[in-house]
Each structure stands twice: as C-alpha cells, then as structure tokens.
C-alpha cells in the first residue's frame, strides 16, 4: 500500500515540535509495512496555492493508493489537487477556530473518510460546533504518543541537564503561551497560588521535551478545548501527574488514576492537588500502562485498518 501523507503542521524555529505526532504516525505506519511519502509544507496563507500545485505534481508523477492529509487546510489543498481517495484527520484548532472551523466543516462532506483525532471533535465544545458525521465515512484516528521517547527518568538528572534547581517547585505548561485556547493565564494563576515556577514548552525541541516532563512536579492542561491531548499521554508515559480540564481524551485518559485531576478549572481545588505534588519528594504516579492505550503503534494499526476498509469499499 502506497500512501501520500500531506501536512502543514511543519516545525519551524519558533515551534520546533509542531506536528511531531504526524511524523510519529508516519514512522509507525512504515513499521506496519505501509509505504509512505510525506509532503510537508509551511504554515501561512501564501503557502496553500504552492502546496496545491506541488501535491498535483506528485499525484501526476507517482501512483498512490490514497492520500491522507492532516489538518483541515492541508485537506483542502489535497482536495483541490485532485487527491482520491482522500482521508483527512482533523486535530482540533481546525475544527474549533472561528475562521478555519467553518472551512473544515465545509470540507468534511467532500471527503472519502472524515477522521478526527478524538471523539470530542464530532461534538460541540466551548460554544464551538463539531465536525459533521457521515454514516460509513467517519472515524476516530488519533496519532498517538511515542512511548520509546517518553518514559520515566530521574527527576534530578532531568533538572541537572536543563539547569534547573534540583529542589525547585516546577509545574509544566506543555504548550506555547501565545496560543489563547491553551489558557496560559490559568496556569500562571495556579503557579502563583501554590508558590511554584511555571515552565512553558512553546520553543522546546521535540527531542528534549521528555526532560522537561520528567523535571516537572506536574503537568498542567488548562485548555478551553483540545482535539486530542497528546501532552497528557506523554506525561502519563513518564509517570508524571497531570491536572487537566475535561477536554479531548482527558476524561477517558485520566479517569481513576490516583494523583491526576480532570475537572473544570477552579483555582482552589486545582491548587490542593498541585500543592500535594509540589510538596512530595518525587511525585510519581502509575500512568504508563494507561498511556499505552494511546501509543503510536496501536493508533497506527487503527489507521491501517481504516485504509484497508476504505480501499475495499472503493474497489
């Protein structure tokens, strides 16, 4: 099976980890025996016409069994280039954004398979509409976490490598503070309330993120909405506590794990949980087994099944 994967979630100096989950899925698909060519292009409105022409040239020169685009606007480029059969995985911002969201909902019925990173994207959230469901042409296809890269490690060693105080009180906000939907303001409020230093992950290279997770007493997901919630899976894979709003997969992922919290942001109740982890000598939790539910390999297996079913229906 030959697949062209298209994405505009491309790393850049200001966001070196952008779209790493797409590349992790591509690697996992290749391990499953799928021959994948990745076409990645930069963000920006000027890039879309160029990407459409580049995809069209690829489709003329090579034979692919299907095209799989990640993110709604990349999906539009693939559609306009004539890609068929076409799968698009929507990841969150492309569904909830006030401008891009309506474009994604217009795109969805034109696809051979509408894929969402989580079931939550098919439902309204925070006053924003979800994706339309089309019978027989909708699926939940997360990318999953790279558990080979994210694993428990010595908190002291991680802090030493990062130049952090070995005895410091650290909370990690695993996103770019500039993204309003992630609610950095809530994380700042909580850190001040519990006398902790807030670490932010916007400019961290993908290969170094595991040290930042292991260095933290807890990871904060304070978002208004999430398409999936990869950062929470990666934290659990390191046995690091997670405090999250009930967005994306968090209600399923964190339910029943001692030391984790999943509830709407309320400073006092969040502070009580965070303070316990900040006061502990090494606040680890038993999270890795749960993280395996959403590892890259089983998620890639789901994608391969979806590909085969789509191609069988098209035959």
- For the stretch 239-272, pLDDT in tens is 999 999 999 899 999 999 999 999 999 999 999 9
- 92-130 residue pLDDT tens: 989 999 999 999 999 999 999 999 999 989 998 778 889
Residue 234: inside a domain, yes or no? yes
| Pairing mode of beta strands 170-173, 197-200 | parallel
The chain-wide mean pLDDT, for the chain, equals 94
> Could you tell me the CA-to-CA distances from 289 to 31, 176, 252, 253, 299 in Å, in that order?
22, 28, 13, 11, 15
Residue 31 token pair: 């391990």
149 domain-assigned: no
Same domain assignment for residues 18 and 129: yes
Determine the average pLDDT of the residues in 189-200: 97
167 vs 116: CA distance, rounded Å: 41
Residue 229 belongs to some domain of the structure: yes
Q: Do residue 259 and residue 180 come from a single domain? A: yes
Do 267 and 168 lie in one domain? The reply is yes
The burial class, CB within 10 Å (0-12 / 13-18 / 19+), for 118 is buried
16 with 121, same domain? yes
pTM of the model: 0.88
pLDDT in tens, 46-97: 999 999 999 999 999 999 999 999 999 999 999 999 999 999 999 998 999 9
Joined tokens for residue 14: 């200001």
Residue 202 has pLDDT above 90, yes or no: no
CA atoms within 13 A on the CB side of 141: 25
Domain limits at 174?
155-293
| Shared domain check, 250 and 139 | no
Kindly provide the residue ranges of all beta strands, DSSP E only, lying in 8-46, ordered along the sequence: 35-40
> Over pLDDT 90: what percentage of the chain?
82
249 plus 191 within the same structural domain: yes
Cα distances (angstroms) measured from residue 197 to each of 171, 194, 241: 6, 9, 16
Q: Do 7 and 112 share a structural domain?
A: yes
Which CATH number belongs to the domain containing residue 264 in this structure?
Answer: 3.40.50.2000
* 257 and 195 part of one domain: yes
How much is the pLDDT for 14? 64
**Total domains present in the chain:** 2
Question: Is the model's pLDDT at 43 over the cut of 90?
Answer: no
pLDDT interval class at 13 (50, 70, 90): low
């Amino acid at each position: 099976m030959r697949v062209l994967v298209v994405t505009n979630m491309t790393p850049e100096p200001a966001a070196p980890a952008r779209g790493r989950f797409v590349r992790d899925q591509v690697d996992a698909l290749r391990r499953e025996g799928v021959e994948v060519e990745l076409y990645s292009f930069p963000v920006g409105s000027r890039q879309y016409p160029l990407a459409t022409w580049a995809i069209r040239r690829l489709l003329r020169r090579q034979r692919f069994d299907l095209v799989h685009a990640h993110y709604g606007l990349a999906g539009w480029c693939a559609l306009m280039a004539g890609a068929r059969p076409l799968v698009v995985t929507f990841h969150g911002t492309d569904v909830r954004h006030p401008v891009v969201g309506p474009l994604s909902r217009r795109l969805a019925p034109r696809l051979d398979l509408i894929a969402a990173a989580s079931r939550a994207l098919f439902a309204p959230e925070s006053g924003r509409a979800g994706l339309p469901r089309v019978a027989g042409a909708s699926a939940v296809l997360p990318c999953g976490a790279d558990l080979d890269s994210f694993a428990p490690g010595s908190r002291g060693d991680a802090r030493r490598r990062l130049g952090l105080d070995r005895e410091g009180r650290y909370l990690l906000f695993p996103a770019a503070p500039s993204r309003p939907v992630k609610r950095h303001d809530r994380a700042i409020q909580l850190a001040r309330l519990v006398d902790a230093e807030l670490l932010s992950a916007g400019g961290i290279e993908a290969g170094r993120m595991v040290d930042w997770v292991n260095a933290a007493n807890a990871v904060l997901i304070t978002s208004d909405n999430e398409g999936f919630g990869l950062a929470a899976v990666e934290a659990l894979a390191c046995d690091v506590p997670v405090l999250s709003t009930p967005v994306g997969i968090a209600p399923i992922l964190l339910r029943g794990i001692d030391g984790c919290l999943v509830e709407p942001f309320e400073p006092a109740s969040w502070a009580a949980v965070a303070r316990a982890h900040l006061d502990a000598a090494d606040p680890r939790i038993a999270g890795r087994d749960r993280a395996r539910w959403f590892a890259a390999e089983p998620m890639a297996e789901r994608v391969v099944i979806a590909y085969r079913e789509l191609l069988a229906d098209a035959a």
